[in-house]
């Protein structure tokens, strides 16, 4: 997968200086970061809507659009795909590959007695959980 994203990223870099009338990438980059961010958000919403609707093929198509728009935004901001992979590796070392960093500072809580050693339990400090009605 990372090879595919690398190829996509290189293609975006190559296309950014093409004629905007002939290149979607060049046109999008000419429109600026705000437009790029808007397109990225639109694609993410489309992925979510198709997922809720259970349309796996639509999720695949929209996910490809999402990756494209994300890579365009990375290129605009000077972010290399390797920058993102390094962050993923850093998070994996801290929390495990599937975890997202908490929004507030985390504290490591020791496992209760009798629990097998493994990945530490992480709790977000200062978080309150509110029940929705």
Q: Which residues contact 73 (CB under 8 A, 6 or more apart)?
A: 33, 36, 37, 40, 79
Q: How many domains does the chain have?
A: 1
- Assigned domain for 27 exists: yes
Q: Which residues contact 36 (CB under 8 A, 6 or more apart)?
A: 28, 29, 69, 72, 73, 76
- Assigned domain for 92 exists: no
More confident residue, 115 or 73: 73
- Assigned domain for 25 exists: yes
- Assigned domain for 107 exists: no
Assigned token pair, 10: 């290189």
**Average confidence (pLDDT) over 22-35:** 96
pLDDT exceeds cutoff 80 at 63: yes
pLDDT tens profile 89-130:
888 888 776 666 666 665 555 556 665 555 544 444 444 444
- Assigned domain for 120 exists: no
Instruction: Return the closest-CA partner of residue 3 out of 53, 61, 67.
Output: 67
| Domain containing residue 49 | 2-86
> For residues 47 and 67, is the Cβ–Cβ distance under 8 A?
no
CATH number for the domain that contains residue 10:
1.10.287.1080
- Assigned domain for 26 exists: yes
- Assigned domain for 29 exists: yes
Given pLDDT bands bounded at 50, 70 and 90, which one contains residue 56? very high
Given pLDDT bands bounded at 50, 70 and 90, which one contains residue 10? very high
- Assigned domain for 24 exists: yes
């Amino acid at each position: 997968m990372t090879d595919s994203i690398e190829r996509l990223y290189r293609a975006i870099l190559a296309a950014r200086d093409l004629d905007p009338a002939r290149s979607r990438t060049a046109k999008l980059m000419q429109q600026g970061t705000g437009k790029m961010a808007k397109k990225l958000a639109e694609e993410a919403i489309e992925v979510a809507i198709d997922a809720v609707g259970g349309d796996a093929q639509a999720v695949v198509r929209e996910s490809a659009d999402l990756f494209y728009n994300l890579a365009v935004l990375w290129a605009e901001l000077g972010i290399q795909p390797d920058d993102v992979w390094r962050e993923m590796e850093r998070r994996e070392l801290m929390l495990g590959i599937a975890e997202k960093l908490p929004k507030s500072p985390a504290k490591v809580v020791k496992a209760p007695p009798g629990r097998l050693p493994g990945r530490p339990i992480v709790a977000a400090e200062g978080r309150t959980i509110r029940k929705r009605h």
